[in-house]
Structure 1
Amino acid sequence: MGLLKALGTNPLPKDVEFRSSAVRFQPGAQGAKASVLVEVPLGSLEFVEDAAAKVFKARLSMVALLKNDKGEVLQKFSRDLPLSVPPDKVAPMKQSNFIYKENFEVGPGRYFLETAVSDREGNKVAAKRASFNIASKPKGVSISNITLIRSFQPQAQGLDPADPFQFQGGRITPTLNSTVKAVKGALLAMFFVVYPDAAIAEKPHVTIEYIKDGQVIGKGDIDLPAADAQGRIPYVMSSPAENLPPGSYEIRAIVTQGGTTAEDRAFVTVEAQ
């Protein structure tokens, strides 16, 4: 089944594991900058042996359509990824993830992200559809969506200033996997960006709340650094996960500056070791 055909199927096929989302970043007078994220665990793909070449092959294809509330396609994102690995590299490859990210900018309104992924060798396909809203630029301080971190490379070189997951402090590899295993040394790592209002003299301040079963079980204040040359404050935070009781958690980031407030929240599940 083709990717676009899969998006028109009811019910949507679910034969390949993947996650997708739109991540909102910098607000502007005409809307907001955001990123499409698609994450595919490569262990969900079928690797087929090519005995003559002495390798195992797999092929991943994806397409994502950004639509407005009228169903009109505003932007199309796609990627085709052929893989060819020697036999001794198949197992580690299956433990890794494919991450696709691409920026876009839209005005205020309601939007839909329709994503389809295919495993060409396994002849399998999956599709998802989700909606999200972009609000008008608020007065005062604002904050991006909170993104969970798969890995962080500090002091990275060759940074792309157009990539919101890259900044002077390093390079973020995001993840849409919201499950954390409470094993020894495990960290719950998150990334967000604060956008101060230059017209307000007071520095922005962030409070982080950890909520479980509707109750705030932990709270901490963050002393933010100064804004960078782009007027933003990217922030990476992490906390030990190994001692967290299993269950569902809400992490809320509340930023204040002057008399203005903005917030975002992320939801994670902690699993026992």
Structure 2
Amino acid sequence: MTSAPPTSDTMRILILGGTGEASTLSRSLAGRADLSVMLSLAGRTSSPKPEPVPTRSGGFGGVEGLASYLRAEAITHLIDATHPFAATISGHAERAAASAEVQLLAIRRPAWSREPGDVWIEVDRMEEAVAALGAKPRRVFLTVGRQEAGVFAAAPQHAYLARTVEPLGGILPVPDLTALEARGPFDIASEVALMCASGTEVLVSKNAGGAATYGKIAAARSLGIPVVMVRRPGKPDVPSVPDAAAALRWLDRGAHAGPATLRAV
């Protein structure tokens, strides 16, 4: 979908989305006459939630493709509101914004922190999460998303309950698999009930942060279930804020706040 032609006083914003923060910011900006907003989704979800601003789906073709889009659409402000584990697109955003001379802000929601009662086994890579499950068969609640679930085929001795937004299909070919399709948010009570009903012995999660899926972490804590927690990948050191509200304030200030005035998370 093509945006309206720019005027000299119109702030033209591209939001790289796919998160609750992107949706919240889009809703806050929708309908404003002083702005032109485009929300970009990666296209990995077949039925994304409808948004109140123009939306495009699919990649840009790397750094140069994104930079070309920014120039062609006369984008003035780029908001990286992608998932904490979407390191590739965040890297592309940094380089493309610099190439196209566009102001860039990242929304980086804080990671979850270990609390008293948590039993976390922290790892840096998904392959390490597989190894952390051990050789002995266990009942595993797998919540790492469809894209990376296939890595756990290397440990077929475990019984998996794999929850994903999109259908899992044949990506995890193991003998004992229960596939559950569901979209958050998930509350603590329902997560406790699910873990008890499935006999969960260990939870595998990315450290995504945020409230929408924190219920599983709190539920594991209450049940004394260990969590194999995959740490976040590194992302570019760019001006960042923790939530959509702070991004909105940045835009309303004219987006001229320097990195020192922004909270990097």
Q: TM-score range by the shorter chain?
A: under 0.3
Q: What is the TM-score normalised by the length of structure 1?
A: 0.25
